[in-house]
Amino acid sequence: MSNVITKPTLVVNCGSSSIKYALISEDNQHRITGMAENLGLDNARIVHKCLDGKKTEVDIPGANHKSALVKIMSLLGNQSPIAVGHRVVHGGREFSSAVEITPHVLSEIKRLKELAPLHNPANAIGIEAVQSIYPDLPQVGVFDTAFHQTMPPKAYRYAIPKEMYEKDFIRRYGFHGTSHAYLSHRASQITEQQGPHGWLIAHLGNGSSTTAVYEGKSLDTSMGLTPLEGLMMGTRCGDVDPSLHIHLKRTMGLSLEQIDEILNKKSGLLGVSGVSNDMRTVESIANDNSHPDQKNAELAVEMFCYRAGKYLASLSCALPHLTGIVFSGGIGENSATIRARIIEVMRHFSLDLDEQKNDSLYGGEEGSFHTADSKYELWVIPTDEEYQIAKETRAVLGL
Ligand code: ADP
């Protein structure tokens, strides 16, 4: 097994108290994965999955990002990475593609915390931790926002005074870019239609977003300045009237912080159903007539599907030509019912779904589910952000 991983590239996704990692071979056929969680606490631990799929759990009480990374590297054994690719959430206007980490890039990532206060500082901690342990290992930042830097101004500007854009860079950035890049590229590889290709991508997970991609370029997307804009999500409200904040402040006396917490953490599927942010749970309660929250759960599912379909339909305006729709993310990859309901919302698009094929696509299966009569193609493609980050990392470094 020792030489199986060719050009092993370590992909690191640091959160404030966690590190998700994957060591990926150049051909994407082999991968070691794992996650360090509860960092900084007594119950910090690493769950590590070896090449053969065997899981090991290692307690690392009180470990910080740096000591966890030392342990992760030792768990990788003789599979030493040739480079590290970091998922970085916000690249602002500065980064329209992945870049090698330099002192300047690192300081920009830190400065951009004003746009992603929860994420960019954790991403920077991960970069510094790797730097301090392996100063000679090349590192690359792969930004969630970068793929959307091709959006035209009509899509990325808000209709607010221009000074706010020019001086304070208030604009739409979009997120999930690595996933949308992977999915649109993959769709263009597997379709039998000749290009140019226009795709509507629905990444539906706990966080959800849709993007219009034409010839590999993002032309518009549902998330904006922050990942709160757009679709209804697990705990995020998506689009609301921008006057909601002032209304809640005036009528309920809530602070901006309380309102932010409600809209980000207590809304979406959780807020409407009153029971869960998890689509599996919400769907099963919606189907259980004896459950006291059945009606609320059913409305949550209906709203989720209506908004996703409405967004996909509206994003078609960005595309010179539509080839098809791609579903992905935990919900998009696994729930045939949700896919069918979203397609029903888009009933004027002459989409014709093959029920049997739709039902057969779950648990990591890739495939199409349109009939020969469908005007546009329908695909399920499991997303692979780790692979995309590893690929971009090697490309930036010329490896
Ligand atoms: P994240 O945005 O955190 O990466 P995921 O892409 O893993 O999220 O998606 C998580 C969501 O996928 C949850 O709402 C979960 O219920 C949903 N999901 C997973 N499997 C199914 C399924 N079989 N049916 C419906 N929803 C599912």
Pick the range with the lowest mean pLDDT from 107-121, 161-175, 230-244, 308-322. Answer: 107-121
Mutate to test the pocket of ligand 1, among 331, 333, 338, 385 (most ligand atoms within 8 A of CB): 331
In ligand 1, the atom with minimum distance to the C-alpha of 269 is 14
Mutate to test the pocket of ligand 1, among 334, 380, 384 (most ligand atoms within 8 A of CB): 334
In ligand 1, the atom with minimum distance to the C-alpha of 206 is 2
What are the Cα distances from residue 282, in Å, to 118, 145, 156, 393? 27, 30, 33, 38
Ligand 1: distance of its center to the CA of 332 in Å? Answer: 8
pTM of the model: 0.94
Residue located via tokens 């208030």: 170
Q: What is the set of active-site residues?
A: 144
**Dist CA 276 CA 23 (whole Å):** 33
Instruction: Give residue 3's pLDDT band: very low, low, confident or very high (50, 70, 90).
Output: low
In ligand 1, the atom with minimum distance to the C-alpha of 203 is 6
Report the nearest-CA residue for atom 23 of ligand 1: 334
Ligand 1: distance of its center to the CA of 360 in Å? Answer: 17
- In the predicted model, what is the mean pLDDT of residues 29-44? 94
Report the nearest-CA residue for atom 13 of ligand 1: 278
* pLDDT tens digits for range 348-395: 999 999 999 999 999 999 999 999 999 999 999 999 999 999 999 999
* pLDDT tens digits for range 182-206: 999 999 999 999 989 999 999 999 9
User: Hey, what are 98's tokens?
Assistant: 């992945």
Q: Cα dihedral angle (349, 350, 354, 357), rounded to 10 degrees?
A: -30
Lining ligand 1 with CB less than 6 A are 205-207, 234, 278-280, 283, 329-331, 334-335
Strand spans (E) along 147-250? 198-204, 208-214, 217-221
Burial (CB < 10 A; 0-12, 13-18, 19+), residue 296, is: middle
Give the strand pairing for 377-380 and 324-328: parallel
Ligand 1: distance of its center to the CA of 337 in Å? Answer: 13
Nearest by Cα to 212 from 285, 261, 150, 295: 150
Q: Thinking of the domain 9-143, which architecture would CATH place it in? A: 2-Layer Sandwich (3.30)
Ligand 1: distance of its center to the CA of 369 in Å? Answer: 20
Which CATH number is associated with domain 194-385? 3.30.420.40
- CA 151 to chain centroid: 18
Mutate to test the pocket of ligand 1, among 175, 279, 361 (most ligand atoms within 8 A of CB): 279
Residues 6+ apart with CB under 8 A from 339: 327, 332, 353, 358, 369, 378, 380
Nearest by Cα to 296 from 281, 310, 280, 282: 282
* pLDDT tens digits for range 104-162: 999 999 999 988 888 899 999 999 999 999 999 999 999 999 999 999 999 999 999 99
List, by residue range, all CATH 3.30.420.40 domains of the chain.
Answer: 9-143, 194-385
Integer Rg of the chain from CA: 21
**Dist CA 334 CA 20 (whole Å):** 22
Ligand 1: distance of its center to the CA of 206 in Å? Answer: 6
